[in-house]
Structure 1
Amino acid sequence: MPRLPHRALLAAVLALTALATGCPEKKKAPAPSPGGGAAETTPERMSPQRAGVKVPLPQGWSASVAADDSFQAGPPGKPVLRVDVQRGEGAKMPSVEALADSTREQFSGFEVSLDQEEGDENLALVRITLAPRLDGGVIGPHAPALLGAKRIGEDLFLCATLPGADTEEVRLATEACRDIQVQAAPR
Structure 2
Amino acid sequence: MRVLASHARKTPGLIGLGLVSLGVLFGGCEGCQKKTPVDDIAAEDAGLRSGVKVPLPPGWSAQVATDGSFQAGPPGRPALRVDLKPGQGEQMPSSETLADNVRQQMKQFTLSLDQEEDTPSFALLRVTMAPSLADGGVGPEAPAFFGARRVGDDLFLCASLPGATAEEVRLATEACRTIQVQAAPR
- Do both share a fold (TM > 0.5)? yes
TM-score of the superposed pair, with normalisation by structure 1: 0.83
Aligned to 1:159: 158
Contact preservation (8 Å) 2:14, 2:130: no
Deviation of 1:122 after TM superposition, in Å, equals: 1.7
Contact preservation (8 Å) 1:83, 1:159: yes
Aligned to 2:144: 145
What amino acid is aligned across from residue 163 of structure 1 in structure 2? P
SS in 2 for 1:141: coil
1: CA distance, partners of 2:32 / 2:20? 15
2: CA distance, partners of 1:132 / 1:21? 26
Aligned CA RMSD, in angstroms, stands at 1.7
Question: Higher mean Cα deviation, 106-115 or 163-172?
Answer: 106-115
2: CA distance, partners of 1:82 / 1:16? 10
What amino acid is aligned across from residue 118 of structure 2 in structure 1? G
SS in 2 for 1:135: coil
1:1-187 equivalence runs, <5 A: 1=4, 2-3=7-8, 5-17=14-26, 18-19=28-29, 20-22=31-33, 29-31=46-48, 47-48=49-50, 52-187=51-186
Question: Between Structure 1 and Structure 2, how many residues are aligned?
Answer: 167
Contact preservation (8 Å) 1:95, 1:121: no
2: CA distance, partners of 1:117 / 1:171? 13
2: CA distance, partners of 1:143 / 1:82? 17
SS in 2 for 1:151: strand
What amino acid is aligned across from residue 114 of structure 2 in structure 1? D
Contact preservation (8 Å) 2:126, 2:144: yes
Deviation of 1:55 after TM superposition, in Å, equals: 0.1
Higher helix share: 2
Indicate the percent of aligned positions where both proteins have the same amino acid: 56
Deviation of 1:161 after TM superposition, in Å, equals: 0.7
What amino acid is aligned across from residue 32 of structure 2 in structure 1? T
1: CA distance, partners of 2:177 / 2:116? 12
Higher RCO by CA contacts (8 Å cutoff, separation 6 or greater): 2
For residues 21-67 of structure 1, the C-alpha deviation after alignment (integer angstroms, 9 at most, x for no partner) is 2369xx66425xxxxxxxxxxxxxxx43xxx1000000000000111
SS in 1 for 2:62: strand
2: CA distance, partners of 1:121 / 1:14? 24
Deviation of 1:14 after TM superposition, in Å, equals: 2.3
1: CA distance, partners of 2:15 / 2:85? 23
2: CA distance, partners of 1:74 / 1:122? 23
Contact preservation (8 Å) 2:158, 2:176: yes
What amino acid is aligned across from residue 142 of structure 1 in structure 2? E
